[in-house]
Amino acid sequence: MKHATLAPKIHSDILKDHLMTISLSRSARRFLSCVAAATPLLAAMPLTATSANAADMTVKAPVVAPVPLWNGFYIGAHGGYGMGSSRLVDPSFAFAQDRFTMDTKGALAGAQVGANWQFDNIVVGAELDLSWASIKGNRPFDPANPILSGLSVSYQALATGTGRIGYAFDNVLAYAKGGVAWANVAYQAYVGTFAPLDVNHQRTGLTGGVGLEYALTSNLSARLEYDYLYFGPAAIALNTRISTQNVDHDLHLVKLGVNYRFNGDAIVARY
């Protein structure tokens, strides 16, 4: 009887062991499946973290915006040619019967200094220039007509102070200018006689002009300019100190020049 009781018990223990083995096998398979599914995620996590850290450590490069091309203070030099006329009117007819006009022409050379401020395509500025001049006119002395001969006029120096406004087409600037002009003028009478009369006078007048300027580099530019100068009537005594004559002058100047801007290549960085 004892052996019969032990037999079912042994059979039950074997069955339990078999069922436990199957359960463990299923658990192992489930664990291995979870590990297999998690492995790519675990492998990607360090890369993701590294990329995030690298992105956080990246220093943003500054956005560099160049200063507008025509901005800046500049100096330059110019040369050119001038033509004009000087008109004499004698109200008392003591020196000339009516009007007398004498043409003038000649070369000039000098320097300029100024500054520009650019707002998008609009450029405004101011400039001062000074020129040595050799612009002359004369009428040789004629003994048969001494009143209207033996005269000469010459410009020895010219200067202008002007404001400018222009429109920039990238590296080309078209502009207009206007302001005040000054001239040192020598007016002579009785030239070629034993008693010549020399009247040097300083004249202040008005000027206006237009020009084109081309940027060769960020700092250096070349320009072509036309200027008109007018000096209104002024009384000078060419014959006697009692009677005076009114003389006015005008000039047309064509100038070719170069300018160097000191901060044309400056940059401003924005973060």
Question: Is pTM beyond 0.75 here?
Answer: no
Residue 31 Cα distances to 7, 27, 205, 224, angstroms: 36, 6, 102, 88
Q: Is the dihedral of CA 40, 43, 45, 51 positive or negative?
A: negative
Which residue type does 218 have?
S
- The helix or strand, by DSSP H or E, that contains position 247, with its residue range, turns out to be strand 245-261
Q: 105-122, pLDDT tens digit by residue?
A: 999 999 999 999 999 999
Report strand pairing: 63-66 vs 72-89: unpaired
Give me the pLDDT at residue 139, please: 78
* 139 vs 102: CA distance, rounded Å: 8
Q: What is the pLDDT of residue 183?
A: 96
Count of CB atoms situated within 10 Å of the CB of 128: 13
Q: What mean pLDDT is predicted for residues 8-32?
A: 53
More confident residue, 22 or 88: 88
Number of neighbouring beta carbons within 10 Å of residue 159: 16
Six-digit token string for 230: 């007018």
Instruction: Give the pLDDT confidence score for residue 81 in this predicted structure.
Output: 98
Across the chain, mean pLDDT equals: 78
Structure tokens belonging to residue 94: 């003591």
- Ranking 51-65, 74-88, 204-218, 254-268 by mean pLDDT, the lowest is 51-65
Confidence of residue 24 (pLDDT cuts 50, 70, 90): very low
Tell me how far apart the alpha carbons of residues 137 and 135 are, in angstroms, rounded to a whole number: 7
With bands split at pLDDT 50, 70 and 90, how would you rate the model's confidence at 270?
A: very low
pLDDT (tens digit, 9 = 90+) per residue, 116-141?
999 999 999 999 999 999 999 987 76
The pLDDT of 186-205, averaged and rounded, is 80
